[in-house]
Amino acid sequence: MNPDGITAAVGESRPRIEGRLKVTGAARYTADVPVAGLAHGWVVTATVSRGRIRDIDAGEALAQPGVLGVLDHRNARRLNPDAGQYFGPDRSLPLLQDEVVAYAGRPIALVVAETPEQARAAAATVRVTYDAEPHDIEFSLAHPAARPASTLFGPEADTGDLEAELAASALVVDEVYHTPEENHSAMEPHVATAWWQDGHLHALDSDQGPFGISQVMASLFLIDPERAHIRAEHVGGGFGGKTVCGPQLILAAMAAEHFGRPVRVALTRRQVFLATGSRPPTEQRVRIGADADGRFRAVHHHAAFALSPLAEYIEWCTEQARTLYAAPAIRTELTAVPLDLLPPCSMRGPGATPGSFAFESAVDEVAERLGIDPLRLRLLNQPEVGPVSGRPFSSRRLVACLQEGARRFGWAQRDPRPRVRREGDLLVGTGVAAVAFIAGVFPSSATITAETDGTFSVRIGATDIGTGARTALIAVAADALGVGVERIRMHIGDSDLGMAAGAGGSRGTTSCAFAIVETAKALREKLAGATTPVTASVDTTPLINWRPDEDRYTYSAVFAEVTVDVATGEVRVRRLLGMFAVGRVINPLLARSQLIGGMIGGLSMALHEEGVRDPVTGRLVTADFAGYHISAHADVPGIEADFVADYEPQDPSGFNGLGEIGNAGVAAAIANAVWHATGTRHRTLPISLGRVVESVAAQDRPQAVGVA
């Protein structure tokens, strides 16, 4: 109960407020919103990995019924080549500007027609010829074009004398790990509807942050930022794939201007794979030196990822090494390898997720080779302060996660020896991984009006991509205003609502909650004795402590049990348990649901997801759900996700983000369990049966039943 006698909404499990609309089909996603006079664009994508367009023959397409025209580099309007997003200029954003093809799947034309069927059929008749050039998509850490990655996220770590500590170590693990290209695969493909009115751009777009996207669009089209109005009311998943300004929106806006009417561009599933950014492949070398008793002396994590020369990007794989364990010497290096690929894009815990797979696998290898229990090894090396920063932790409940998880999972009964548990043809193993995930807030602004009817209209440019953010923010607003949730009218998903963090970086809800809490505070001061309506607005930019004297992270411990079939190499997960320290939890029902979703994403990454490119053409072969496998229901066991008590002192309400940490530790926990089951270490994801079957069967041919 708060001082006004209202039961606190934060901490209560409530189903998402728009849930009924969604399950009854009443919620309208971007492509569901009718717009008068709508025309439809169909994207034509490049089929070579590098080269120049010699000709685009659209003659047949233009003659087809309903076709309004074809946009390509010869007739499209010019866009600002310096527009960009988080990482600076992104030269992949200006579409249809020239004949250069920098990657396969690049949109090179848009066929616009009265109906999507007409546009699609006409697009199939567009004949494109190229002057192909040799391409290079051969990713490796040792690639000649490899260069240090951007340090926009801060300098890499280099503390202590690494080589001396390695030399003094009783054991050095030095291994290389690989993760493949992966695609976000949100259920709702990217779609946008755009129109222009009086020099203003209006668009409905499936994205993770309409305010940020509106800024990019304004820059691309060189209009005042106030003239770009982007809405994303309901979004069918994003997983990072909709954080950037997508080709669907850029092309819809170009076509709407060109043809003088609203245009919708909906990508097909295949086009989402081909023309929107993926998680880049990584190659990671991890060296850990330890004393015979398990204490780490040296940690070295050198990670490389692929990107495009068109845009800067950071897959920050080295985050775990700098904060998870204490060691006298820690060095991290991050290498970027420019290749003829489309620019990568943040995905489900960028950096931390592939980085955790490599780093927490290597930690497990230390435990294996020293004969120390992997849980004990992790507890043994916990730091008192940030091992690289030297700063205290604002809250660090990782040990609680590990210990409570171990208790629930029954870790104490675990036999540490590999390949000793067998049920018929199935080998059984268990594994653990720890995770730290950086936390914080981005600037956001909110406006709250105390209405004459006693309700409060909260306006904030937040986005709910299916996580329950809207519901969570209503609870935050209700508590901050001291009223029940029924008195909150929440307005989100519109760039006109003002600057706000998008749903990304595990910071959307925390950032927007911060703004709402501060705005509510300001409103309550203004309200005293005033007559309604009263409005207050707060921008949190000056309130954010950008150089805090404490390290702020969320934590998790993940435990997995797997079976491996010795005859077939099939790996199946039996149990998955995640314990999380993510600050004060706003809505346990939705938080748990999001974490379980993340853990399923981690499982899918561990065992299934792999973007495969043709080694000759460089084109993505797995550009649909028949070729790109994500876990099916039958792959997902009973998953337990729960919280240890936590409170983030840097946040006025004790909150931290939890959007991505669910993904991060799962692949390592599963890989470590596969080692425990089979005795073979898998350092390349996914751990597909083709990779397992030969090693597991070579050691142990199945015995015929009843052989005398």
Partner 1 sequence: MREFAYRRTSRIDEALHLVARHEGARFLAGGTNLVDLMKAGVESPARLVDIRSLTLDEIGETPDGGLVLGATATNSAVAADPRVRGRYPALSQAILLGASGQLRNMATVGGNLLQRTRCAYFTDTSEPCNRRVPGSGCPAIDGAHHNHAILGWTRHCVATHPSDMAVPLIAFDAVVRYEALDGPGAIPLSEFYLPVGDRPDRETALPDGALITAVTVPAVKAAGRSRYRKVRERASYAFATVSVAAALDVRDGVVQDVRLALGGVASRPWRARLAESALRGGPLTAERISAAADVELAAAEPLRDNAYKVTLARNLIEAVVTELAADTGEESNG
**Residue positions annotated with a catalytic role:** 660
Nearer CB in complex with partner 1: 118/540: 118
Neighbours of 67 (CB within 10 A): 23
Which of 18/114 has CB closer to partner 1? Answer: 114
Which of 608, 676, 681, 682 binds partner 1 (CB under 8 A)? It is 608
In whole angstroms, how close is the CB of 120 to partner 1 at the nearest point? 8
193 contact partners, CB below 8 Å, separation of at least 6? 30, 31, 33, 35, 38, 203, 204, 205, 252, 262, 263, 264
x/- letters, 276..305, toward partner 1 (CB under 8 A) = ------------------------------
Footprint of partner 1 on 402-431 (CB under 8 A)? 425
> Do residues 419 and 362 lie in contact, with contact meaning Cβ atoms separated by under 8 Å?
no
Note the residue count of the chain: 708
Please, are residues 496 and 479 in contact by the beta-carbon 8 Å criterion? no
Query: Contact 49/273 with Cβ under 8 angstroms?
Result: no
Return the residue of 210, 212, 493, 569 that touches partner 1, per CB under 8 A: 569
52 vs 574, which CB is nearer to partner 1?
Answer: 574
Instruction: Tell me which of 623, 644, 658, 669 binds partner 1, using CB under 8 A.
Output: 623
**Does the footprint of partner 1 cover residue 88 (CB under 8 A)?**
no
Name the minimum Å distance from CB 269 to partner 1.
11
Question: Dihedrals φ, ψ of 104, to 5°?
Answer: -65, 140
Sequence-ordered list of residues with C-beta below 8 angstroms from that of 155, at least 6 positions apart, any chain: none
Decide: is 124 part of the binding site for partner 1 (CB under 8 A): yes
What are residue 205's DSSP bridge partners? 192
Cα–Cα distance for residue pair 672/667, rounded to 1 Å: 8
Among 17, 617, 642, 647, binds partner 1 (CB under 8 A): 617
End-to-end CA distance of the chain: 73
Q: Rounded to the nearest whole angstrom, what is the least distance from the CB of residue 567 to partner 1 in the complex?
A: 4
Binding piece for partner 1, criterion CB under 8 A, among 312-320, 345-353, 367-375, 615-623:
615-623
CB of 8 to partner 1, least distance (A): 42
Beta carbon nearer to partner 1, 266 or 441: 266
Is residue 36 part of the contact set for partner 1 (CB under 8 A)? no
The residue within the footprint of partner 1, chosen from 47, 150, 389, 537 (CB under 8 A), is 47
Residues 264 and 148: beta-carbon distance below 8 Å? no
Helix H or strand E segment including 76: none
Judged by beta carbon, residue 257 or residue 635, the one nearer partner 1 is 635
Candidates 17, 170, 223, 697: give the one binding partner 1 (CB under 8 A).
Answer: 697
Question: What's the CA dihedral at 156, 159, 163, 168 to 10 degrees?
Answer: -140
| Smallest separation (angstroms) from partner 1 to the CB of 307 | 22
Residue 57 tokens read as: 């023959």
* Interaction between residue 706 and partner 1 (CB under 8 A): yes
In order, the DSSP letters of 219-278 are: HHHT--GGGEEEE-SS----TTTTSS--HHHHHHHHHHHHHTS-EEEE--HHHHHHHS--
Measured CA angle at 399 (ends 396, 405), to 5 deg? 125
Cα(38)–Cα(118) distance, rounded to whole angstroms?
Answer: 13
Asked if 638 is part of the footprint of partner 1 (rule: CB under 8 A), the reply reads: no
Q: CB of 627: closest distance to partner 1 in angstroms? A: 5
Interface region with partner 1, contact rule CB under 8 A, candidates 59-67, 144-152, 180-188, 245-253: 59-67
| d(C-alpha 593, C-alpha 611), whole Å | 27
Among 121, 450, 576, 590, binds partner 1 (CB under 8 A): 121
| Binding interface with partner 1 (CB under 8 A) | 47, 64-66, 115, 117-118, 121, 124, 270, 425, 567-570, 572, 607-608, 612-617, 619, 621-624, 626-627, 629, 631-635, 688-691, 693-694, 697, 701-708
